[in-house]
């Protein structure tokens, strides 16, 4: 296998290895959207052990945490190593318009899905309009 030398990629790898030693939680990419009467959050977590995933709710703070272990193969010479290992973390502050008791989560094909229902009081509703003429005709 022929590989060309790119000095900038070597610099990128060096910087990544130095920054990786800090062991700060990694950011997981998410999509968040409203679908009718619920919010749907999809978080990419490929290669994560499902047993390491935690979805916690503390008040209005939703925390997603997962762990991916490093693939430490002895005696190999890495040519590229871009899949990060360590702790992945995202936090969201939920507003008053969601049903905190109805939140559910599932993990399939490397994607964590969190369903956050909209609360009854936040759902659109029709407001009845009263008028004085209408009331007077009822009283008469």
Domains assigned to the chain: 25-70+85-121 (2.60.40.790)
Residuewise pLDDT in 10s, the chain (140 residues): 455 555 555 556 566 555 554 456 677 899 999 999 999 999 999 989 999 999 999 999 999 999 998 877 888 888 887 887 889 999 999 988 899 999 999 999 999 999 999 987 766 778 888 887 765 555 55
pLDDT of residue 38: 94
pLDDT at 73: 80
Determine the number of helices (DSSP H) and then strands (DSSP E) in the chain: 2, 7
For 69-86, how does the pLDDT look when each residue is reduced to its tens digit (9 = 90+)?
Answer: 887 788 888 888 788 788
The pLDDT score that the predictor gives to residue 10 is: 58
Whole-number pLDDT of residue 34:
93
Whole-number Å distance between alpha carbons of 132 and 140: 12
Q: Residue 52 contacts by C-beta under 8 Å, 6 or more apart in sequence?
A: 66, 67, 68
**Buried/exposed code over 86-111 (b: 16+ C-beta within 10 A; e: otherwise):** bebebebebeeebbeeebebebeeee
Please tell me the predicted confidence (pLDDT) of residue 26: 74
Q: Is 59 exposed, middle or buried (0-12, 13-18, 19+ CB in 10 A)?
A: exposed
According to the model, what pLDDT value does residue 132 have?
A: 78
Residue 21: predicted pLDDT: 47
For 97-102, which contacts have Cβ atoms below 8 Å and span 24 or more sequence positions?
A: 97/121, 97/122, 98/39, 98/122, 100/57, 100/60
């Amino acid at each position: 296998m022929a590989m060309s030398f790119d000095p900038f990629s070597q610099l990128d790898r060096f910087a990544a290895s130095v920054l990786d030693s800090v062991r700060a939680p990694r950011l997981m990419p998410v999509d968040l959207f409203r679908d009718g009467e619920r919010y749907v959050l999809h978080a990419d977590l490929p290669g994560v052990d499902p047993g390491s995933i935690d979805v916690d709710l503390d008040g209005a703070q939703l925390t997603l945490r997962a762990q991916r272990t490093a693939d430490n193969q002895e005696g190999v010479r890495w040519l590229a190593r871009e899949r990060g290992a360590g702790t992945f973390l995202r936090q969201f502050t939920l507003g008053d318009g969601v049903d905190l008791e109805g939140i559910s989560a599932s993990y399939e094909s490397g994607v964590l899905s969190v369903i956050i229902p909209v609360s009854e009081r936040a759902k659109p509703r029709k407001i009845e309009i009263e008028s004085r003429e209408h009331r007077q005709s009822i009283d008469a």
